[in-house]
Structure 1
Amino acid sequence: MSNRFIDKLSGFASLSSAEVAALATATGAPRTHAAKYDLIREGDRPGPVFVMLDGWACRYKILPNGSRQVLAYLMPGDSCDLNVGLLAEMDHSIQTITPATVATIERADMDEIMDKHRGIARAMYLAQLIDEGTMRAWITSMGRRASIERVAHLMCELYLRARNIGLTLEPRLAVPLSQTMLADSLGMTPVHLNRVMKELRSSEAMTLQRGSLIIEDPAKLIRIAGFDENYLHRRLRRAI
């Protein structure tokens, strides 16, 4: 089975056979977790670097009133919390959305790998910078985009990220996200989100139903979202 983590990092830097072997060894004993399993919780001491090999996960925070804000979605190939070990405790939680295969790399092992292999270090830092760019795009959506633009923008992002890692080559994408979870990531109520989804469906730009996103008119969806993929830095892939 392909290791999507290695595939992703190989897209950011030309990795030597020794570097590929080091990554394969580091991620060679993954564990499978059920859906809705907390890999780590807010307030915990930071743990290892988590590497998603299969399945989806999310970062989230729980507010004092019990409501939830989803902060990011993690897809196969993504890793998280490269430098969070510098902190005393986690300031957010990470939970699987679907059954997921997750490898863990201990901090000392990750530091050693990056010290020995400059290509891996460069690729990891680039991946982290792109994650930070994605967070800035989400902040911009929450602060300045209208509801329909916000939803369309997230759908464009999820589709493009999935296509980049080979999860889909078609206009259809399996999206294992409930309307409640999407609402939690968009700062909307499920009722409001449902109205916006109906509006996007009526526009014939996209349809999201039963866990399946169908992009019917990519140009129209991009126009509605005002989507510019520059924050995903796809031009970095294979260009370094």
Structure 2
Amino acid sequence: MTGAATILAADDTQEEADVLHDFLSALGYNVLVAHDGLETLSKVRLFRPDLLLLDIHMPGMDGFEVCRRLKADPLTADIPVLMVTGLRDLRDRVKGLGVGADDYIIKPFDFEELAARIAARLRAKQEADRLRLEQARTREVLQRYLAQPVVETILNGSDLALGGTRREVTVLFVDLHGFTALAERTPPEKVLELLNVHLGTAAEAVLVYQGTLDKFMGDAMLTIFNAPHPQPDHARRAVRAAWLIRTRLQQLH
């Protein structure tokens, strides 16, 4: 989250919406206002606010249904929803949390409490956004070297056995024929460029068939099929990967 956070305040009462707008603006937030459920849905999807302050009782579509739809949509599910409810409406508060609301605030507002709850939810969202970005970067790096099932196992925090088991595997060894002689008569920067292109192309082909890149050794690459994830057709995968490597490398020349 960069700059001032954007908050959408949804309330069907113009006077209360104006009060919220002025109060939140004074705190330094960018403030949007909606007056019914459909307008709220539309503005959330259009502007992607950092937080939604959502009154339960609105015309057309109540806050429960608005919240349920937003939380069911992957594009808006991570937007914090702070539901607004009456002092005596315990069942409304429970129902709101049940449809995915992140927190609630009771009317009439204690504005100090409202400011604190909003700040807490925005901090939590900022941390969640940071973690998602880190995971995306980690995924991008891992996908360069590991098959997709292995990447998902690592990122999901599942146990991944990296040793202690015995199983039959298929090893595919890739070596760039004639590369040593070529390297002796080629400038170092060109050698590095050729290695990156050729081994990168080979690695991508291996990952198509979900092989594991075990190690790089100069102009060679060692890959394994059937570990760490079982692959009943591991030999077939290795052969197909080898054929794809050969085809793609030939296309480079």
TM-score (norm 1): 0.25
Asked which structure has the greater CA Rg, the reply is 2
The structure with more helix, counted as a fraction of residues: 2
